[in-house]
Amino acid sequence: MTERLYYTDARLDRFTAVVLDIADDGRRVVLDRTAFYPTSGGQPHDLGTLGGIAVVDVIDEEERIAHCLAEPIGVSVESMLVGQIDTTRRFDHMQQHTGQHLLSGFLADEFGWLTLSVHFGDDSNTVDVACDDFDPTMLASLERRANALIVQNRRVTVSFEDAAEATRLRKPSDRAGELRIVTIDGIDRSACGGTHVHFTGEIGAMLLRRAEKTKGHTRIEFVCGHRAVSRARLDAELLTKAARTLSAAPHELPGLVEQQQQRLAEGERERKRLAGELACYEATAMWTACIPDGDGVRRIVVSTAGAVKDSEPLAQQLVALGCCAILVTNAVVGGVLMATAEDTGIDAGQRLRAALQAVGGRGGGSPRLAQGAVPDPSQLPVVLASLGFLATTQELSA
């Protein structure tokens, strides 16, 4: 059994322990006691060194804690080792975890929003709460109120209580026996095995970055302490950089972005209009230049270097001229698009699907427009021939 030193002293950063077990050629070590926190309860594991070797993972094996090392330890069972915790990472996790307890307790007390799940990440954290109608405009207000509780510097304590006698827990525990209870004076009381600061003031600032609906609940993204300051600094730098490209101040950026979006939308509408005019001109030229076959159908092949779907406006313009069948191909990727005028009596969807399936390809669509692809572009001539687009068919580039 491994004694968990972090249970009673989250600030302990250096300790000595006896090796109980060694596995994985010396890369997995179990100690009689440890200050290393294993990944558990959503909180990531600690990093640091053990016997001077980097600890890359810490695994909770219920009764024991395994330390995974970057290289073999080179000692035997019953040896004494010195462990050193990465204090910067540990304190960051303490700030995030205590901040989550405070936020969850506050939301439960004020709004009845119980915490359903929590995720602690390397960059940000999320808490899912039982709220199906969250108003995004509340986020700034919630952030101010949470920070107001933090600066009250309330005491955070750890106690060990029998599960049958532990009362006033934010979330009832389904475990029996002794529980480790983390209490934020007047705000929260929860069964938890994680590491926490001693006073809420040590959480530092709390930044609520965004909220979104997920599976009928609300997910709130947050960061605390040094991480919140770093995130705010990065956000400010990104806004300043983006504003500089538009020769504007950061607070002017939202209005300018909206203007740019409107201009882009107008430009896209104009592009589509011009593309339609060009397609009409090209279609008329192609249709006129193509000689009808014995059935009176003009069969036009268009080769393209782009996606065949992008030639759909041209194909529609062609079939609108009547008694026309058009095949757009891409000889590089094997894409095929087929369109037919109604007066040809040719079902584009059925004909193209059958032609593609014959060479192991896939595709289909409506009687007037269909598309697909061949497994090998070299099979395109076979597909063209089976559709009646012979080698003598006039071919134009587009």
Convert the pLDDT of each residue in 172-200 to its tens digit.
Answer: 888 888 999 999 999 999 999 999 999 99
Residues 6+ apart with CB under 8 A from 100: 118, 120, 125, 127, 222
Domain of residue 197, residue span: 91-244
Please indicate, yes or no, if residue 359 is contained in any of the structural domains. yes
Distance CA 137, CA 210 (A): 10
Q: Mark whether 160 and 106 lie in a shared domain.
A: yes
Average pLDDT, integer, range 6-35: 96
- Point out the domain boundary residue: 60, 85, 110: 85
Q: Decide if pLDDT at 330 tops 70.
A: yes
Average pLDDT, integer, range 109-121: 95
Q: What pLDDT, in 10s, does the model give residues 43-85?
A: 999 999 999 999 999 999 989 999 999 999 989 999 999 999 9
Q: Mark whether 69 and 41 lie in a shared domain.
A: yes
Distance CA 90, CA 10 (A): 8
Q: Mark whether 146 and 213 lie in a shared domain.
A: yes
DSSP H stretches of helix in the chain: 87-111, 139-150, 225-245, 253-289, 312-320, 348-357, 380-386
Q: Mark whether 182 and 197 lie in a shared domain.
A: yes
Please indicate, yes or no, if residue 150 is contained in any of the structural domains. yes
Please indicate, yes or no, if residue 335 is contained in any of the structural domains. yes
In this prediction, residue 393 carries a pLDDT of: 44
- Point out the domain boundary residue: 63, 85, 107: 85
- Point out the domain boundary residue: 244, 270, 286: 244
Q: What pLDDT, in 10s, does the model give residues 365-392?
A: 999 999 999 999 999 999 999 998 865 4
- CATH number, domain with residue 97: 3.30.980.10
Tally of domains in the chain:
3
Distance CA 4, CA 193 (A): 10
Pairing of strands 188-191, 178-184: antiparallel
Q: Mark whether 103 and 229 lie in a shared domain.
A: yes
CA quadruple 379, 385, 391, 397: dihedral sign: negative
Core vs surface per residue 12-24: b (16+ CB within 10 A) or e: bbebebebeebee
In this prediction, residue 390 carries a pLDDT of: 67
Average pLDDT, integer, range 131-157: 95
Please indicate, yes or no, if residue 286 is contained in any of the structural domains. yes
Q: Mark whether 35 and 97 lie in a shared domain.
A: no
Q: Mark whether 218 and 314 lie in a shared domain.
A: no
Angle between helices 253-289 and 312-320 (to 10 degrees): 40
- CATH number, domain with residue 42: 2.40.30.130
Please indicate, yes or no, if residue 46 is contained in any of the structural domains. yes
Q: Mark whether 292 and 229 lie in a shared domain.
A: no
Q: Mark whether 80 and 97 lie in a shared domain.
A: no
Q: Decide if pLDDT at 278 tops 90.
A: no
Please indicate, yes or no, if residue 238 is contained in any of the structural domains. yes
Q: Mark whether 168 and 199 lie in a shared domain.
A: yes
Q: Mark whether 391 and 349 lie in a shared domain.
A: yes
Please indicate, yes or no, if residue 288 is contained in any of the structural domains. yes
Distance CA 51, CA 118 (A): 33
Distance CA 315, CA 370 (A): 11
Q: Mark whether 304 and 225 lie in a shared domain.
A: no
Distance CA 362, CA 85 (A): 58
- CATH number, domain with residue 307: 3.10.310.40
Please indicate, yes or no, if residue 265 is contained in any of the structural domains. no
